[in-house]
Each structure stands twice: as C-alpha cells, then as structure tokens.
Amino acid sequence: MLGFIRSVADSECKGIETVADIFAGTGQLLADTDAVISSYGLSDTRTYGYEKYGGTGSAGLAEYNRERYNRLRSDYNALSKKGEGGYEETLMLFVLIVFSFNNQMRFNSRGEFNMPAGKRDFNSQMRSQLTAFAERLKEGEYIFTAQDFRTHPADSWNEDTFVYADPPYLISRATYNGNGGWTE
C-alpha cells in the first residue's frame, strides 16, 4: 500500500513532502517470525514444500496446521488477557494472522482471537512482499505512531501533506465489524 500511496502522491500531487496514512493498520513484523513458526511446529512450505505436510496448493495446509495453530491461538489469548505481552504478543498475533483463514483477524465478545486455521502459511510470496516492504522502509524517512486518529493534531500537517484515509467500513461485512469492533 505504501508504494501505491507514494505513486499517487508522486504523480498527482507535485510538491508533496509528507504522506500521512491514517489507517495504516499494524504494519508488518518480520523479525522472529520463523522462531514462532518453528516453536509451534507450523508448516514452512518455503523451505520444505507442500509435500512434507501432505498438502497441495488447492487443498492447503489447514489440516496439518489446525492443532498447532489452535495451540498458538490459545497461548496468544492467554497472554493477551494478562495485558503484558508486548512484543511477544504482537508477534504471536502476526503469525496467527499469517496462518488464519484468508489472513484475517477477528475477536469474539471476550476479546479472544477466534479465526480458524487457514490453508496458507508464511510462504515465499508473502515473505518476499514483506521483505520488499521492510527494504522500502529503510530507503525513506518514515515515522510510525500508534494513536487514535481523532487525537492527531491537524495543525501538524500543511499544504505539502498528502493525507490518505481508508478507514474500516461500518456498512461492510468485514470480520473487524463483528462484536462492535467498529461502530461509528
């Protein structure tokens, strides 16, 4: 998305010096992902291919990963309830999303992550895209903040700022709208 935003800003908005992507989401985590995948025994088709796990491109890996994924999900939910998970909790959530159905995230009314295992893993294509994203971040001057967009001081932007706002959609059936996740 960052590349798309920059291309629009470059081609349509000459003189833009700052791009503000208000709803950028969680960004991407690369570091330590393989350690979590390995420690839970989740599939690694980039290294071993589908055959090792009894899966195919169309049937996927859900059968192989289901029990392992559910253990990771249970551990994540327990850590999340404590409220002190920090980086480990964030990393576990990232891996859950990578291995979840359609790479989605959803939480139940108790605040527990509850997506089922999906048929994909942290494959070569996903890894390549995330690596390219991380490399792109090294090339520029980026500042990431985690705050409520409504509290960001509007006077920090000027006429040289391209503001990109693509918020969650209340009227859609996206999984983040379940259990009052986005209500305004």
DSSP codes joined into one string, 98-150 = HHBGGG---B-TTS-B-PPB-S--S-HHHHHHHHHHHHHHHHS------S-GG
Name the residue with higher pLDDT: 146 or 116. 116
Name the residue with higher pLDDT: 83 or 22. 83
pLDDT in tens, 72-106: 999 999 999 988 777 888 889 989 999 999 999 99
Give the C-alpha separation, 95 to 33, whole Å.
7
Give the C-alpha separation, 147 to 76, whole Å.
23
Give the C-alpha separation, 152 to 67, whole Å.
42
Give the C-alpha separation, 96 to 9, whole Å.
33
Average pLDDT of 161-166?
70
pLDDT of residue 28 exceeding 60, the answer is no
pTM: 0.66
Give the C-alpha separation, 48 to 39, whole Å.
16
Name the residue with higher pLDDT: 39 or 178. 39
Name the residue with higher pLDDT: 85 or 35. 35
Residue 125, pLDDT score: 86
Average pLDDT of 106-120?
93
